[in-house]
Structure 1
């Protein structure tokens, strides 16, 4: 079927259409006329039908409310009042993918199936969960998924428990996990990225039921959503279902979910944090040294791709010059990089593991000297070509590790 820009299709107005040959797809962007909800459709012959709905969810604190909501909305809803519909779907549906994920500034709910009836059922369960969850009538969901007091015996010490609370206690016990959280917290002191969206166990018990409900009311609205459809499917049937069963019940709403960019610093920030080790462990060579840079905006496609390549060239590829220089200088037992391009202002990190605090200035000097030498003399062309070829091969192969391509 031929679609026309500006035409309304079951409540959705087509805004843009483009043929993307690299992924053998026709991409269409729609806007829901009544609510302003955005929808991206990727039409192709992939038998895996994919649906996802996402919401901008910038955290205002580190109570983990966004993470707890992600768990909680899947604990029963208006149409599906069973206690754990997610578990029932895992056991009983024909899904090829089923999950929910909380990021630093957004929460998404993706599903996939090759069976059309199953696909629509999964879509129904997820849409009902995000818009009409049982959290409004069952306070115990917050206690179960977020936090509650726990006391097994009268003489025991009162403790906290909860699915997310326990999960984040585990996450905060990993030195690498702590490091990456502290990098983001330190680089973005003035905006939402300084908060832990997953929840800091220290602050999770500060979350009240009222805050929990207010957060859902504020962000889980079609006007703040982005819907994604991918694969070989009946588009008009999908649009009709999404509109008539859900979005048509809502009106357009102004929701402030924008993130204020972090202003540049006048000089480099030098910070130090500690993490726990067991009493039996020797604390020598347990230090992580990291140089971290905020690198423009994630919407700058060219810079984004360049930095992805640079991380691979400098710190991952065989013969990576920056990694080699740091290892040769014995700054640490291991050296690795990180490029986090999934946030408003991407972060490029150079990290030495199993080092010592006394090597901090030497670490900085080796990095600067190596980068200055690269700027002056360039990077070996064969290394660049090899890395570009590896990236291109990976993109063309679209190796998704067993998950549906969409």
Structure 2
């Protein structure tokens, strides 16, 4: 019996340590039209993830035409020359697959997860979107209604729903990060059919996209099928330039109060931070884990469990292609006012600025970071997305195997240093979200 227990223990340990040591092999190359292709073969399950990432997000929009990238997230499912209106989802589902998309400040991401024997079908569907997307008045008007309704449901009629908009509007004054991906309903209404067509022709082209595939494939066969469906798509005619706008420093704390249809106050701090992939980014990311990952994190433990000043407390390292934001926030408990909650939040931030984290907490942090890194690449979809992003933003696809080393090199001193450098009052936005009734009593 003892031998069996030892063998079982060794098996469990091997399963836990293997993913951390597993190298993710891939093949990457460019088609003549500029499309970058990344292939990862994993024959462990008969599943394939097909992703297409376009280097276009809300930061590529004009101030008076926000929401275009998000609009196309929807419009790309409308149909094409050879896919009937509304048939995209049906074709995928009938083949046993699922699909979706998302839009950020910097990119728009589309994916399909299919049985591996449907790889060719998925490639054909994605090539249709890239070459033959149907942009007509019927589709545009349909999606105008959908996008506006989504905004109502997710932002306008949701408690704290406008929080992201308010944060970025206050934190940026010249950079296009000052508006968020969901955009403005009024600008979507004003946009003409020709404007949507021009946006599509400008950004949804091979040289501005990464096709990343992970799963049960044969590399050489996949190359042939990719050639068949994507090689003849012409390059876009526009020169694609990413914004080079540099946001000036805040040079002083920005404060504001938003009155919303809520019951409990919310307090938020947003600090300017460097772009993703810069040396300080990794220390800030680990600081975020210390403050807010899980119920044992510092903010949650102190504000929610011990002091009971908040019903929830969190933090977010909002890293972007250009300098982003480090955000901490808390929702007040019943009877706790925003001023008291702010003081309690500030005390927790001061602790990481004034003192090194303990060696025990540091070891736990490294374990959490390594686990998160492995987990993010534990599925075919996760691998495909990571490969695409590492190429798109860093032109170093092999970071999927090596970026963890950048995290592991972060020291306790680095964490204290970045906390002291970036989490200061002159570099932040402070927002109070208060119930509307608090405004009416003034």
Q: Under TM normalisation by the shorter chain, which class is it?
A: 0.7 to 0.9
Q: Secondary structure at the match of 2:53?
A: strand
Greater RCO structure (CA 8 Å; 6+ sep): 2
Contact kept, 8 Å, 1:63 with 1:205, in 2: the verdict is no
| Counterpart mapping for 1:196-207 below 5 A | 196-207=180-191
Contact kept, 8 Å, 1:72 with 1:141, in 2: the verdict is yes
Q: Secondary structure at the match of 1:271?
A: strand
Q: Secondary structure at the match of 2:353?
A: helix
2:73 to 70, 73, 81: 70
How far the C-alpha of 1:185 sits from its partner, in A, is 2.6
Flag structure 1 segments of 5+ consecutive residues without an equivalent: 1-19, 147-161, 278-282
Contact kept, 8 Å, 2:106 with 2:320, in 1: the verdict is no
Flag structure 2 segments of 5+ consecutive residues without an equivalent: 1-18, 385-442
TM-score (norm 1): 0.77
How far the C-alpha of 1:324 sits from its partner, in A, is 4.2
Which residue does the alignment assign to 2:284? Answer: 307
Instruction: Show CA shifts across 1:236-285 (max 9, x none).
Output: 333333334333331364212345343322222223333235xxxxx5xx
| Counterpart mapping for 1:4-403 below 5 A | 22-32=21-31, 34-47=32-45, 48-57=47-56, 58-61=60-63, 63-80=66-83, 82-95=84-97, 97-116=98-117, 118-135=118-135, 138-146=136-144, 162-172=145-155, 173-251=157-235, 253=237, 254-258=239-243, 260-277=245-262, 286-300=264-278, 303-327=280-304, 331-354=309-332, 362-397=340-375
Give me the whole-angstrom Cα distance separating, in 2, the residues matched to 1:247 and 1:195.
Answer: 36
Q: Alpha carbons of 1:180 and 1:120: their partners in 2 closer, same or farther (altered >3 Å)? A: same
The alignment of Structure 1 onto Structure 2 pairs a total of residues equal to: 358
Instruction: Show CA shifts across 1:54-86 (max 9, x none).
Output: 212223246422222222222221222x11122
Q: Alpha carbons of 1:336 and 1:88: their partners in 2 closer, same or farther (altered >3 Å)? A: same
Q: Alpha carbons of 1:188 and 1:27: their partners in 2 closer, same or farther (altered >3 Å)? A: farther
Instruction: Show CA shifts across 1:155-211 (max 9, x none).
Output: xxxxxxx11111111011223331122212322221221223223334432222222
Contact kept, 8 Å, 1:222 with 1:250, in 2: the verdict is yes
Q: Secondary structure at the match of 1:333?
A: strand
Q: Which has the higher helix share?
A: 2
How far the C-alpha of 1:357 sits from its partner, in A, is 12
Give me the whole-angstrom Cα distance separating, in 2, the residues matched to 1:290 and 1:384.
Answer: 26
Contact kept, 8 Å, 1:28 with 1:40, in 2: the verdict is yes
Deviates more, 1:162-171 or 1:229-238: 229-238
Q: Alpha carbons of 1:35 and 1:188: their partners in 2 closer, same or farther (altered >3 Å)? A: farther
Q: Alpha carbons of 1:357 and 1:64: their partners in 2 closer, same or farther (altered >3 Å)? A: farther
Aligned-CA RMSD value: 3.1
How far the C-alpha of 1:226 sits from its partner, in A, is 1.6
Give me the whole-angstrom Cα distance separating, in 1, the residues matched to 2:22 and 2:247.
Answer: 34
Q: Alpha carbons of 1:89 and 1:188: their partners in 2 closer, same or farther (altered >3 Å)? A: farther
Give me the whole-angstrom Cα distance separating, in 2, the residues matched to 1:191 and 1:134.
Answer: 32
